[in-house]
Amino acid sequence: MTSHIAKERAKLTKTSIIDARTLETSNKRLAEILKPGMTVLDVGCGTGAITCGIAEKVGSRGRVIGVDNNPQLIEKARQNYKDVPRLTFEIQDIYDLPFQNQFDIVTSSRVLQWLSNPQKALNMMVQATKINGFVLVLDYNHDKIVWEPEVPKSMQHFYESFLRWRSEAGMDNAIADHLPEMFKEAGLINVKITPQHEMAENSDEEFQTHITIWAEVAQFKGIQMVNDGFISEKERAQAEEDFRRWINERAKSQKMYLLAVEGMKK
């Protein structure tokens, strides 16, 4: 039951944030370990922005498959990157991956946070990985976000409701810090943790893009939360308005706690 609710809540309604990501800026640890000629599976690839960077990095001797359970996103990915050789996109659910011992690296970024059974998903990723291959997961601990200065009360209330809305669907808000244990449970060895926290400061060129993510969450995920009875439309709209004003008038920085965790399949 929670898995059905989680699937509904995980649905992406706006893609501008994931479209703007690149391998180099948004999955740095993966960029470091990729080598020419590797085969890579990117699970929960969205519209394929990071996946395309993976394909460029593994080059003409490599092979990359991006999978996502949202057909609209896969359609966009196919359109966006149809000219990139040795890169294909498939509609697949992470719980039902049809691959066995096939890839040098199986990776998933910012996806397990949206699942009600992330351990099962991780086990499926391990199954798709070759012996001596690597699994690399990138994910957040949403309990550890830091905004400077404090965000308005209405936004604090929205954010607390957002975390409750997620955890009541079985999602783990602190999943980044639970990944190492989950990797051991999945039988992976040589588990390595690399902090990849997303830091945005108001002197940065891209500050608006990064900090606006939570205004967009209030705008789009907020509607789902209203429909699910977790917050009123008045509270949602107030949080969005106050947060946008805070961005323009007061915001100094935002830190999103993000870890890359990798392990080897025996």
Interacting residue ranges for ligand SAM, rule: CB under 6 A: 10, 12, 18, 21, 44-46, 50, 68-70, 73, 93-95, 109-111, 114
**Distance of alpha carbon 206 from alpha carbon 211, whole angstroms:** 9
Residue closer to ligand SAM by CB (options 50, 261) is 50
Q: How far is the CB of 196 from ligand SAM (least distance, A)?
A: 11
When CB distances to ligand SAM are compared, the closest residue is: 44
Q: How far is the CB of 250 from ligand SAM (least distance, A)?
A: 27
**Distance of alpha carbon 264 from alpha carbon 28, whole angstroms:** 18
Name the β-bridge partners of 199.
255
Directed axis angle between helix 153-167 and helix 233-249, to 10°? 120
**Distance of alpha carbon 185 from alpha carbon 121, whole angstroms:** 12
- Residue among 49, 48, 82 nearest 66 (CA): 48
Q: How far is the CB of 59 from ligand SAM (least distance, A)?
A: 21
Q: How far is the CB of 69 from ligand SAM (least distance, A)?
A: 4
Report whether 124 contacts 97 (CB < 8 A): yes
Q: How far is the CB of 115 from ligand SAM (least distance, A)?
A: 6
Residue closer to ligand SAM by CB (options 18, 239) is 18
Report whether 243 contacts 214 (CB < 8 A): yes
Q: Provide the token pair at 117.
A: 């059974």
Residue closer to ligand SAM by CB (options 68, 240) is 68
Residue closer to ligand SAM by CB (options 68, 262) is 68
Residue closer to ligand SAM by CB (options 43, 247) is 43
Evaluated on CA atoms 27, 28, 34, 35, the torsion sign reads positive
Residue closer to ligand SAM by CB (options 44, 222) is 44
Residue closer to ligand SAM by CB (options 213, 237) is 213
- Residue among 64, 50, 65 nearest 19 (CA): 50
Evaluated on CA atoms 263, 135, 122, 25, the torsion sign reads positive
- Residue among 116, 142, 120, 106 nearest 262 (CA): 106
- Residue among 166, 159, 139 nearest 258 (CA): 139
Q: How far is the CB of 70 from ligand SAM (least distance, A)?
A: 4
Q: How far is the CB of 19 from ligand SAM (least distance, A)?
A: 9
